Structure 1
């Protein structure tokens, strides 16, 4: 996927995207300790290495694969709304790939490099709306520069020199078998895992972005209900690094009034005319 055209000479993330939609706190100025271009270049190197390693293992699914095409079709609708939150996103060389692995995981690196693992699609039987929720959440982390802030707070101000040495893989929760050869070590970057505040913000910004793209934000509630059903004794990696629970679902419900009008507008209908969201799991009741 190619970057969107941009004629703005100086671009940056925005603390608030517009008067409508969700409202979030201002971004931490600490992130400015880490050059954004340097972090994005490092992420690109690691993403390329991950793809190469996955390809060697026969795990990088081809462009012709139906699920790859589905992800890219959804991304093509979501990405145009990213620049509302970060004008720099118009310069990113967006890319999305699918890795054939059982991991229930997905990520978006700084610079718009997205990957899904097939396990999150097949195990959770995600609808298009639910895929969009996952994608929007991960994109929101990149748009709000949470990685840049985490790096800065950890004192790793030389992103190129130090992140390249220890690797982004553990931070993102990626299977080390796919990244050890790429990074040189299977390092633990638990210190860079996103905070609960980052996760909440990514939820809300993600809901805002996908609603504008015409995907039902109520699917986020169904998604986390599904996640709660999966292997309660040993939560999947994506769940362990993205805390769920009643409080998270309650937070999303609280902000639905901010994003549902955006969704109704994208669907060119009245808010009152929208039917309840129906997932594809019978145990999940329709969400009004």
Structure 2
């Protein structure tokens, strides 16, 4: 029979192994917007990139098989022209990024969506252009935001957080099982739910804010009007209605997001004006 001391020692060892596995890194420089949060990565970049490549290949393949990939040449050219201006600016945040194997596609869909997977795999859905009637500046704001997620490796960070929550939940289950005589899986289930609300969602909002700020600088440096980010999210707000309360959302509320974008659009406006003069 194990004593409480032995249980404490085993638990301490688990916690120590978990904490020493946390690797803090800097994925990007701060840029003019000053995004310099240190990130904890529990999953390797290679592992995430492999998974992303597989998901990307499957998604593009399915869209192609259904005749939904790059159907409108004018839309494809428009999106790729914007990408061609945004991609060189990524070097401000990551010197390696401009040489990524970038790809840009347009997927026919009624969903208001766009994404950029690790390594620079971009997809823009037609609803953004057709339903919202976005200008080039507003479309650049969408794409800059998604590119910023890839630069900051938010997908990798979230994967690590999920792995970390699994470990933390297991630790919680051991504690409850050892000291209260209940099924350890109960502790895991409880912490999995509460932990998601307490830790995962606020971090996700932070990632969205970082992507907004980095993205708005990419847009300005590429010669697109950074203030278009504001009109973009005003359109998104009208399209989505009131949405859910901010504290239960993985994204900031439209009001707080727009207020933050106003501040940072003003901050990067000199970069936009400089880019305009150089074009």
What TM-score results when the alignment is normalised by the length of structure 1?
0.69
Specify the alignment match of 1:79 in structure 2: 87
Shift of 1:96: 0.8
| Other structure's SS at 1:53 match | helix
Alpha carbons 1:106, 1:138 under 8 Å: kept:
yes
Alpha carbons 1:140, 1:206 under 8 Å: kept:
yes
Specify the alignment match of 1:115 in structure 2: 123
1:25 and 2:39 aligned: no
- Distance (Å, rounded) in 2 between the aligned partners of 1:211 and 1:220: 10
Match 2:276 to one of 257, 267, 274 = 267
Structure 1: tracts of 5 or more residues without a match? 1-11, 158-188, 270-288
Q: Using a 3 Å threshold, how does the CA distance of structure 1 residues 242 and 121 change in structure 2: closer, same or farther?
A: farther
1:100 and 2:108 aligned: yes
- Distance (Å, rounded) in 2 between the aligned partners of 1:260 and 1:214: 10
Alpha carbons 1:93, 1:111 under 8 Å: kept:
yes
Q: Using a 3 Å threshold, how does the CA distance of structure 1 residues 233 and 251 change in structure 2: closer, same or farther?
A: closer
1:13 and 2:46 aligned: no
Specify the alignment match of 1:134 in structure 2: 142
Shift of 1:241: 5.6
- Distance (Å, rounded) in 1 between the aligned partners of 2:54 and 2:88: 24
- Distance (Å, rounded) in 2 between the aligned partners of 1:234 and 1:99: 25
Match 2:264 to one of 242, 245, 255 = 255
| Other structure's SS at 1:15 match | coil
**1:51-200, aligned counterparts within 5 Å?**
51-62=60-71, 65-155=73-163, 195-200=204-209
Specify the alignment match of 1:281 in structure 2: none
Alpha carbons 1:60, 1:97 under 8 Å: kept:
yes
Specify the alignment match of 1:181 in structure 2: none
- Distance (Å, rounded) in 2 between the aligned partners of 1:114 and 1:244: 25
Moved over 4 A (4+): 189-194
Structure with higher helix content: 2
CA shift digits 1:40-99 (9 cap, x unpaired): 22211211110111111111124x610011000000000001121122313421011011
CA shift digits 1:177-197 (9 cap, x unpaired): xxxxxxxxxxxx999887111
Greater CA radius of gyration, 1 or 2? Answer: 2
Shift of 1:233: 6.7
| Other structure's SS at 1:124 match | coil
What TM-score results when the alignment is normalised by the length of structure 2?
0.71
Q: Using a 3 Å threshold, how does the CA distance of structure 1 residues 233 and 14 change in structure 2: closer, same or farther?
A: closer
- Distance (Å, rounded) in 2 between the aligned partners of 1:83 and 1:259: 16
Q: Using a 3 Å threshold, how does the CA distance of structure 1 residues 221 and 234 change in structure 2: closer, same or farther?
A: closer
Shift of 1:121: 1.3
